[in-house]
C-alpha cells in the first residue's frame, strides 16, 4: 500500500510499519549472501545523518552533493538531508573533474559526499577551485586520503557526530514547516549539447508523482527491486523513492557491470532499465540460438514465436488467444521460457519499467514474447521521469510509450512538439532564467523538444526536434529511428547515424568485436588487430549487407549508403558519451571527422 508521507519523514514512517524487515540489501563478496539493512536501521541512520548535518550548521535549503556509484549510503544521505530540508545534488560516479567543479560552484555546495577512490580523488583535485566546499565525507573506508587532506572524514565518523538526540526538536520543527514548493533536488542534465543545466525538483513534484504512479502499478511490499541504473538518473531516483513508498526491498547493485550476476543472486521481481539492457539480453539470446543444435534452435525459435502470438498479438491487445496457442504457450512457459528466465535471474519477474531512449520494436516484442512485463515509458528529468507509460489493465501497442499520467496535461504543439503541464513538471533551471524562459512559455507549457502524436489513447514518439538531420538535398532524417532499427543486429554493438548537410546517410559502427572476430576466423580472414579487422572489405560488406536487410522499410533517401567500422568503442573519457551513455553527436562528428570525410570523399 502506498505511503505518501513527505520525503522528510517517509523512511521513519515505513520503519514504524516494517521494523526488522529488510529495507535494503547490497552485495558482499561474489557468491556470498548479500548484506542487509532493516527498516529500523535505515531510519536510525537517516536520523544520524540529519543530526550530523545540523551539527555542521547546515541550514534549510542549503546545497549538499552526493558523488558516488550506487551504495546504500546514497539513500541514507539523501533522506537524512531531506529530514532537515537541505537540498541534495547527485553527481554521476563517472563525472569528470571539470563537470564536478562546474556543478559544485554553480550550486554553491558546502558538503560533498563521495563514494570510492575515483570520486574522492576527483573531488580533492578540484578543491582549490571550489571555495564553498567545507568538508568531504567518504562513504568507503577503503579510500586512501591525500596526505594534504585536513577536511575529509569517513562516513562512520560523520555518523558518530550525529549520536545523541540534542537536535530532535529542530528536526521536528523543520519537518513541520515544510513548504511543498521548496527544492528537494537539483539534477544536472548530462548535456548532449553544451553545458549542463540544473533541473529544479521540488517536494510537490514527488508528492504528486507517487499517487499518479500508484494506480498504474502492481507494486507491493513483497517486491524485491534491483537498483541497476544510477541513483543520479531521474528515472532510477523517482522509481526507487516510489518503491520505498510501497515498502519494497531494495537490492542495490553497486556496479553496472555486475548486474547479470546480481540478477541471478537476488532473483528480483522488478527493475528499472534502459533499452540498452534489453538490447544486450536480446543479442545474447540470439547468439545462444545461433550456436545451438538444430533441434534446440527450432524449439527456442518456436517458443519465442508462440510467445509473440500469445502475448503481443493477443494479450497486449486485450484479446483472448485461441485454445491451441494457449496450450502451446503454457508448455513453453513451463519449459523453454522458464529456463530462459531462470538463466537471466528473472523467473520471479513482476514488471520492468523501461525508458530513457527509443526501444527497438523487435526488442520490445521479444521481451514481451518471453512473458516479461516490460512497461515502456517516456519522460524527462524535467518531468520527474514519467510523462507516460503502459498502464496495467489497458491495451498496449509495441512502439508506443504508453498512456499519459493523469497528473500530467499534454498537448501537441507546433512541429508536433510535445508540451507539458502539471504538478510533476519542473518550474525551471537553477540560476538560469533565460533557459527557463526558453523552455516554459508564457502560458506555462513546458516545451520538451520531442515530437510525437496520440493514437487510441497512446503516445507515440517520432523524433527529437534538435536531433533531426537535414541532408544537403533538403531531406529530413531522424537518426534515432534508424539507430533503434539497426542496434538489434547481433553484429552491431553501437551505431551513430551521419547525415546532417551531407548528400546521403552514412553510419559509424562499433561492432560486437567477439562475434565479428569469430565470423572472420570462420571465413579464413586473417587480421593482426581490430583496426585491420574493421578495415577488411569482406567484413565491411558483410555488415553492410545486414544493414541493407534491416533498412528496407525506410525511404531511399533515409537509407544508409556507407558505413565505417570503428576499432574502439565510444567513450566518456573522450567526451563522446554523456554520463547516461547518450551519444554527443557534435563530439562524435569532430572526433571522427577524418573517417566521416572519407565516406563522402568520392562524391
pLDDT of 501 reads 79
Yes or no: say if 174 and 85 are a contact pair by the CB < 8 Å rule: yes
For 282-337, what is each residue's pLDDT tens digit?
988 988 898 899 999 999 999 999 999 999 999 999 999 999 999 999 999 999 99
Higher-confidence position of 40 and 462: 40
Q: Map out the domains of the chain as residue ranges.
A: 10-170+178-253, 276-464, 468-600
CATH code at 468-600: 3.30.300.30
For 516-569, what is each residue's pLDDT tens digit?
999 999 999 999 999 999 999 999 999 999 999 999 888 788 899 999 999 999
pTM: 0.86
Q: Which residues of 180-204 are buried (b: 16+ CB within 10 A; e: fewer)?
A: eeebbbbbbbbebeeebbbbbbbbb
CA distances from 441 to 143, 420, 445, 447 (A): 47, 11, 6, 8
pLDDT band of residue 26 (cuts 50, 70, 90) is very high
pLDDT of 185 reads 98
Yes or no: say if 208 and 407 are a contact pair by the CB < 8 Å rule: yes
Give residues with Cβ within 8 angstroms of 443, minimum separation 6.
none
DSSP assignment string, 229-255: S-TTSHHHHHHHHHHHHTTPEEEE-S-
Residue 3 buriedness (CB in 10 A; 0-12 / 13-18 / 19+): middle
For 91-145, what is each residue's pLDDT tens digit?
999 888 988 999 999 999 999 999 999 999 999 999 999 999 999 999 999 999 9
Instruction: For domain 276-464, give the CATH superfamily.
Output: ANL, N-terminal domain (3.40.50.12780)
**Pairing mode of beta strands 63-67, 35-38:** unpaired
Residue with cell 493514437: 455
Most confident of the ranges 173-187, 453-467, 565-579: 173-187
Question: Helix, strand or coil for residue 473?
Answer: coil
Instruction: For domain 10-170+178-253, give the CATH superfamily.
Output: ANL, N-terminal domain (3.40.50.12780)
Q: Does residue 193 have a pLDDT over 50?
A: no
Q: 198 has which bridge partners?
A: 188
Q: 468-600: same fold as 276-464?
A: no
For 371-406, what is each residue's pLDDT tens digit?
999 999 999 999 998 999 999 889 999 999 999 999
pLDDT band of residue 235 (cuts 50, 70, 90) is very high
Amino acid at each position: 500500500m502506498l505511503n505518501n508521507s513527505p520525503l522528510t519523514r517517509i523512511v521513519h514512517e515505513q520503519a514504524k510499519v516494517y521494523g526488522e524487515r529488510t529495507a535494503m540489501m547490497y552485495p558482499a563478496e561474489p557468491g556470498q549472501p548479500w548484506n542487509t539493512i532493516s527498516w529500523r536501521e535505515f531510519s536510525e541512520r537517516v536520523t544520524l545523518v540529519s543530526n550530523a548535518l545540523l551539527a555542521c550548521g547546515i541550514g534549510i535549503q542549503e546545497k549538499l552533493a552526493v558523488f558516488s556509484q550506487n551504495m546504500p549510503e546514497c539513500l541514507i544521505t539523501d533522506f537524512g538531508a531531506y529530514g532537515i530540508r537541505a537540498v541534495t545534488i547527485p553527481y554521476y560516479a563517472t563525472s569528470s573533474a571539470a563537470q564536478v567543479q562546474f556543478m559544485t560552484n554553480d550550486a554553491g555546495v558546502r558538503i560533498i559526499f563521495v563514494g570510492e577512490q575515483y570520486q574522492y580523488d576527483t573531488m580533492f583535485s578540484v578543491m582549490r577551485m571550489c571555495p564553498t566546499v567545507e568538508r568531504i565525507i567518504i562513504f568507503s573506508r577503503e579510500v586512501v586520503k591525500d596526505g594534504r587532506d585536513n577536511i575529509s572524514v569517513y562516513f562512520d565518523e560523520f555518523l558518530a557526530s550525529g549520536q545523541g538526540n540534542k537536535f530532535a526538536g529542530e528536526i521536528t520543527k523543520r519537518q513541520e514547516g515544510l513548504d511543498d514548493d521548496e527544492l528537494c533536488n537539483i539534477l544536472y542534465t548530462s548535456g548532449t549539447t553544451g553545458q549542463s543545466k540544473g533541473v529544479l525538483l521540488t517536494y510537490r513534484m514527488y508528492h504528486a508523482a507517487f499517487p499518479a504512479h500508484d494506480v498504474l502499478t502492481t507494486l507491493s511490499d513483497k517486491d524485491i527491486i534491483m537498483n541497476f541504473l544510477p541513483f543520479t538518473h531521474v528515472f532510477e531516483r523517482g522509481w526507487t523513492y516510489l518503491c520505498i513508498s510501497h515498502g519494497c526491498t531494495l537490492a542495490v547493485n553497486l556496479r553496472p557491470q555486475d548486474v547479470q550476476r546480481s540478477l541471478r543472486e537476488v532473483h528480483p521481481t522488478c527493475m528499472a532499465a534502459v533499452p540498452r539492457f534489453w538490447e544486450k539480453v536480446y543479442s545474447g539470446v540470439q547468439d545462444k540460438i545461433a550456436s545451438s543444435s538444430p533441434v534446440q534452435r527450432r524449439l527456442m525459435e518456436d517458443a519465442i514465436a508462440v510467445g509473440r502470438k500469445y502475448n503481443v498479438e493477443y494479450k497486449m491487445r486485450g484479446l483472448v488467444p485461441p485454445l491451441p496457442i494457449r496450450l502451446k504457450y503454457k508448455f513453453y512457459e513451463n519449459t523453454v521460457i522458464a529456463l530462459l528466465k531462470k538463466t537471466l535471474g528473472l523467473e520471479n519477474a513482476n514488471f520492468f519499467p523501461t525508458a530513457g531512449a527509443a526501444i527497438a520494436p523487435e526488442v520490445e516484442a521479444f521481451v514481451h514474447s518471453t512473458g516479461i512485463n516490460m512497461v515502456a515509458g517516456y519522460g524527462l528529468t524535467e518531468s520527474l521521469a514519467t510523462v507516460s507509460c503502459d498502464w496495467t489493465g489497458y491495451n498496449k501497442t509495441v512502439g508506443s510509450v504508453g498512456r499519459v499520467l493523469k497528473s500530467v496535461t499534454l498537448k501537441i504543439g507546433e512541429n508536433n512538439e510535445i508540451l507539458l503541464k502539471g504538478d510533476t513538471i519542473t518550474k525551471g533551471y537553477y540560476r538560469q532564467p533565460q533557459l527557463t524562459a526558453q523552455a516554459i512559455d508564457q502560458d506555462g507549457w513546458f516545451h520538451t523538444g520531442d515530437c510525437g502524436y496520440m493514437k487510441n489513447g497512446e503516445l507515440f514518439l517520432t523524433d527529437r526536434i534538435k536531433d533531426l538531420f537535414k541532408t544537403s538535398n533538403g531531406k529530413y532524417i531522424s537518426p534515432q529511428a534508424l539507430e533503434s532499427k539497426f542496434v538489434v543486429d547481433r553484429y552491431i554493438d553501437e551505431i551513430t547515424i551521419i547525415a546532417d548537410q551531407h548528400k546521403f546517410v552514412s553510419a559509424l559502427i562499433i561492432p560486437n568485436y567477439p562475434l565479428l572476430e569469430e565470423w572472420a576466423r570462420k571465413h579464413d580472414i586473417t587480421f593482426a588487430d581490430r583496426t585491420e579487422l574493421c578495415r577488411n572489405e569482406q567484413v565491411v560488406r558483410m555488415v553492410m549487407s545486414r544493414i541493407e536487410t534491416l533498412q528496407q522499410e525506410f525511404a531511399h533517401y533515409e537509407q544508409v549508403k556507407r558505413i565505417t567500422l570503428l576499432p574502439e568503442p565510444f567513450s566518456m573519457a573522450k567526451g563522446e558519451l554523456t554520463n547516461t551513455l547518450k551519444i554527443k553527436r557534435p563530439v562524435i562528428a569532430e572526433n571522427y571527422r577524418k573517417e566521416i570525410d572519407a565516406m563522402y570523399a568520392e562524391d
